[in-house]
Structure 1
């Protein structure tokens, strides 16, 4: 087993390090494992698994949610969100810095993508908040950390990928992500309040007080986005629609919103559709490679032997989670979140199941850890997005995001100590049906 693990690990490093696409790397690794460590016909297994991974009904939700995010990315939704939120943040310690946290949380609930959340909110809040005199380092840090909520708060693209890879319920995973997402938003907001109390001279003075009627008038611009959130998440939670059907509802509502806002024309529609096609094809290709790799690893017996070896170490579930957290963060330094999930699922699940860890809980834990890796160099996607918008060194952006990395680590500890944060809503949804 050791020789096989060494050869496959070195091969993976060589493939990824040489710039080969992740999908091709996964296919190549699976071919290497089957061709050299088994007598199974490689071509037959590859063909059947690639075909089998391409017609999953659950995967239909993926391009629909991606398309919804692309439409909203090109609409005026973020501008309306800032206008509606900012008057209510003036009296809170930290003031308009909270618009990054709350705004990213709201946008994450309709985009499903960390990068889309970061880019959309960053285009608006970075120049606006720096113009008003807010600390640029903290503006960048709050945006980098809060944008990762796009991976967790439903509808989440990576949760769909995890559900398909592990044969779990997408709806239950979506419900499981709600309370952890709200928990992280609360942790970020509390940190900003403490920072503002400690450094009051670095927070601009509150602007002139607006009357309640004006605040309410501006808050009305939040109604379309809230309606979209209710339409998508509410239809799933009430059982009116499956996640796939809710994705179609989200696309229709986002098209109507963009049309009513006057930001939808032929060019925007084409760009949104092409953007969704490109992203969906990339993810589908990675999933096909991962499906073949999973089958190949199953035939080699590596996951079973590795799980048996881990079992001989006598690690408690706590020690296993601590080791996995370190492993996933390190792996996330070099791969994007979806690649981390599909690359490790076949190897990690036997260990996790043997330790008696609930797979729905593990999915949320994994997504939070992957969120942490989104703001760690050298391959933190949110760092790249922010570097492109600010022109700052990627290490300085990573340093600005470091407090939020540790806040997410605190979130992992909290859901480990209190797993009901994750499991309550899925269990309540199951008991209602």
Structure 2
């Protein structure tokens, strides 16, 4: 059967099952089973054997052990006062910058992203403090909402990142190098956000009322002291990875242990926090792992159907320039981001897009960062922008207003994608420096 026809059939099946409200993992399994049964006439027994082998292979992947641990770490932090410490610690440090406390959204999310790995967790944890404080101090509502929705997406890019772990496993790329590759692009996006806030507030000072309260040097030092718990966790997790002392999975375990010790030392430990955080981590991890198994099965089914190889060959025969290909893929990912979450986008698209990228000569390490940023864009686009839902729950504003407030930060992130494409060393330089590889 023609590759284009087969691809269209598979794509139609995906939109049919997911469009009818089927759970993502069930929908992906159904697409794979239907494709093998109808297009290749595979027997149920043969399909069952393929699925069982994939489940065993997926369950035995050591790299995936990092996911539940990082999720648990974020769940523990979410239930403590670390987000409150973040706000109080950053307040004296940003008070004199145009935009004032609006920068606590950006800096707070940047710091929390370095211990969370989840966009929604980053947005919710930082937002539960900053939204009420900024509203009480008469800061512009749209700028407050938009900056938090945009900065919360950094939880996917700044390491440790759950999406990066999944990409690394599926694309067989070093997770350590992926984590390093995400640092500078993440800081670039955070810098663009802060620069935009400064620009808006210089032109319209009423957007961020200047506080008459001054902060002494001692108070600034106290603010840094309040930030020490989160900075300590960042150093423990990322330091153990980049120093070579631990793999990402081991570093995740160390991070959970360090978080637990920190909670005990600060007198916040309780069995309620322990059990609620553990159950929250179990639920999220089961969801992620079930989607991964289903996506791995779909990827295998598409391999039997030769969809990725044939599409890669067909597009390659069009003799498109590499940058035209990137533009097409960017639009493709933005479209997927309208309807799917980041994990689903990654696991569903990779069997098709990765061969195209490799054939065009792009570095798979760079593409991992590009893909994560594109997934981030989906976090702030309706109707299924998870950060928008989080902000709606935090503020009570309609989803339409939240989406409009986040639109400028969508544009800023798109600008970051252009910069990343024009200057790939932005993602490749740090991993080459840290791990002595040639990008």
Tell me if TM exceeds 0.5.
yes
Would the aligned equivalents of 1:76 and 1:261 in 2 still touch at CA under 8 Å?
Answer: no
Gaps of 5+ in 2: none
Task: Please name the residue that 2:114 is paired with.
Answer: 109
Distance 2:242 2:5 in 1: 48
Deviation at 1:432, TM superposition (A): 8.0
2:308 counterpart of 1:306: no
Task: Please name the residue that 1:206 is paired with.
Answer: 211
Task: Please name the residue that 1:426 is paired with.
Answer: 431
2:361 counterpart of 1:359: no
Would the aligned equivalents of 2:75 and 2:277 in 1 still touch at CA under 8 Å?
Answer: yes
Would the aligned equivalents of 1:101 and 1:146 in 2 still touch at CA under 8 Å?
Answer: yes
Distance 2:25 2:48 in 1: 16
2:17 counterpart of 1:15: yes
Distance 1:103 1:207 in 2: 23
Distance 2:74 2:300 in 1: 32
2:139 counterpart of 1:137: no
Task: Please name the residue that 1:74 is paired with.
Answer: 79
Which of 167, 170, 178 in structure 1 is aligned with 2:175? 170
Task: Please name the residue that 1:401 is paired with.
Answer: 406
Distance 1:98 1:61 in 2: 30
Relative distance call for 1:303 and 1:432 in structure 2 (3 A) is closer
User: Deviation digits for residues 181-221 of structure 1, max 9, x if unmatched?
Assistant: 11111111110110011101332122321221122123211
Report the 3-state secondary structure (helix = DSSP H, G, I; strand = E; otherwise coil) of the residue aligned with 1:84. helix
Distance 2:223 2:426 in 1: 33
Distance 2:66 2:84 in 1: 27
Task: Please name the residue that 2:226 is paired with.
Answer: 221
2:236 counterpart of 1:231: yes
Deviation at 1:42, TM superposition (A): 1.5
Which of 94, 99, 106 in structure 1 is aligned with 2:99? 94
Q: For structure 1, which segment, 271-280 or 197-206, has the greater mean C-alpha deviation from structure 2 after superposition?
A: 197-206
Deviation at 1:9, TM superposition (A): 1.8
Which of 1, 4, 23 in structure 2 is aligned with 1:2? 4
**Superposed structure 1 runs of 4+ greater than 6 Å apart:** none
Q: For structure 1, which segment, 396-405 or 5-14, has the greater mean C-alpha deviation from structure 2 after superposition?
A: 5-14
- What is the TM-score normalised by the length of structure 2? 0.97
- How many pairs align? 433
Distance 2:325 2:264 in 1: 50
Task: Please name the residue that 1:280 is paired with.
Answer: 285
Report the 3-state secondary structure (helix = DSSP H, G, I; strand = E; otherwise coil) of the residue aligned with 1:249. helix
User: Deviation digits for residues 358-382 of structure 1, max 9, x if unmatched?
Assistant: 0010000000011011000000000
Task: Please name the residue that 1:124 is paired with.
Answer: 129
User: Deviation digits for residues 274-313 of structure 1, max 9, x if unmatched?
Assistant: 0000000000000000110111101111111111110121
Report the 3-state secondary structure (helix = DSSP H, G, I; strand = E; otherwise coil) of the residue aligned with 1:314. coil
Report the 3-state secondary structure (helix = DSSP H, G, I; strand = E; otherwise coil) of the residue aligned with 1:147. helix
Gaps of 5+ in 1: none
Report the 3-state secondary structure (helix = DSSP H, G, I; strand = E; otherwise coil) of the residue aligned with 2:96. coil
User: Deviation digits for residues 291-337 of structure 1, max 9, x if unmatched?
Assistant: 10111101111111111110121111100010000000110110000
- What is the TM-score normalised by the length of structure 1? 0.98
Which of 186, 189, 198 in structure 1 is aligned with 2:191? 186
Task: Please name the residue that 1:35 is paired with.
Answer: 37
Would the aligned equivalents of 1:135 and 1:203 in 2 still touch at CA under 8 Å?
Answer: yes
Would the aligned equivalents of 1:74 and 1:263 in 2 still touch at CA under 8 Å?
Answer: no
Which of 242, 247, 250 in structure 2 is aligned with 1:245? 250
Which of 320, 328, 332 in structure 1 is aligned with 2:325? 320
Would the aligned equivalents of 2:91 and 2:223 in 1 still touch at CA under 8 Å?
Answer: no
Report the 3-state secondary structure (helix = DSSP H, G, I; strand = E; otherwise coil) of the residue aligned with 1:219. helix
